[in-house]
Amino acid sequence: MPERPRVPLASLFRVFFQIGLLSFGGGLVSWIHREIVSERKWMSDAEFLSGMSLSQVLPGINSTNTSIFVGQRLRGFAGASVCLGAMLLGPFLAILLAGVTYKTLIGAPGFPAVVEGVGAVAMGMLTRLGIQAARTVKIGLAPAIATLATFLGVGVMQWPMLAVVAVVAPLSVAAAWPRADNA
C-alpha cells in the first residue's frame, strides 16, 4: 500500500466544520465519505467502509464516530480531536446564536406568535410523520392494543415512557411472534 500524504489538521478542521455547519438531519456519513474518499482521496473506499461499519456498532452517533475514525486514521489522536471538535463546533455556535437571538427577540411585538406558529408547524410535521408511519404498520388487534396502551400510559397517565415501553414492548413482541398454528 503506498504511503499516504500527511493531511494538515487545518484541512481536516475545514472539511469537518463545513460538514457540521451545513448539515441538517441524516446523511452525514455519506457526506463524509464523499469529502474524504471521493473528493480528496485521503482514504480508500475499503478503509472508509470498514471504519463506517465499526462506527455503526459502537455506542454513540454514527457520524461523530465516523469523524473520530477518519481523524484517527489520518492524524492519530490530534486528528480525531480536530475532526470531532470541528464537526460539533458549527452546530454549537449556531445554537448559541439562536439562543441569543431568541432572548433578544422574545420581547418584540408579535415574536411569541411567530414561535407559536413554528411550534404548530413542527407539531403538524410530527403528526404527518406519525400518520405516515401508522400506514405502514401491520393492522391487527395486538398492534392496536399496544399503541393504545402506550398512548394511555405515556400521554394520558403521564407514566415514565421507559417503564411503559419496558412493559408494553415485550407483550407486543409476544403477541406478534409467529406461532406454529399461524404458519
Asked if residue 4 is part of any domain, the answer here is no
Ordered alpha helix ranges (H), 23-160 = 28-33, 45-57, 62-105, 111-136, 141-150
* Cβ-based neighbours of 172, under 8 Å, separated by 6 or more: 142, 143, 146
Residue 25 confidence (pLDDT) above 90: no
Asked if residue 115 is part of any domain, the answer here is no
Is 88 found in the same domain as 25? yes
pLDDT at 5: 74
Residue 56's Cβ-count burial label (10 Å; 0-12, 13-18, 19+) is exposed
Q: Which of 43, 19, 23 is nearest to 32 (CA)?
A: 19
Is 137 found in the same domain as 80? no
Is 67 found in the same domain as 24? yes
Asked if residue 163 is part of any domain, the answer here is yes
Asked if residue 151 is part of any domain, the answer here is yes
Is 98 found in the same domain as 29? yes
pLDDT at 147: 84
Is 94 found in the same domain as 24? yes
Is 146 found in the same domain as 100? no
Is 140 found in the same domain as 100? no
Is 75 found in the same domain as 39? yes
Asked if residue 123 is part of any domain, the answer here is no
Asked if residue 23 is part of any domain, the answer here is yes
Is 79 found in the same domain as 27? yes
> Could you give the number of structural domains in the chain?
2
Q: Report the largest interatomic distance among the alpha carbons of the chain, rounded to a whole angstrom.
A: 66
Q: Tell me: the pLDDT tens digits for 128-181?
A: 877 877 777 667 888 888 888 998 998 899 999 889 989 998 998 888 787 766
C-alpha 139/C-alpha 19 separation (Å) is 40
The residue ranking higher by pLDDT, 61 or 179, is 61
Asked if residue 157 is part of any domain, the answer here is yes
Q: Tell me: the pLDDT tens digits for 94-139?
A: 999 999 998 999 889 999 899 899 889 888 888 887 787 777 766 7
pTM of the model: 0.63
Is 72 found in the same domain as 16? yes
Is 89 found in the same domain as 138? no
Asked if residue 170 is part of any domain, the answer here is yes
Residue 36: domain span? 9-105
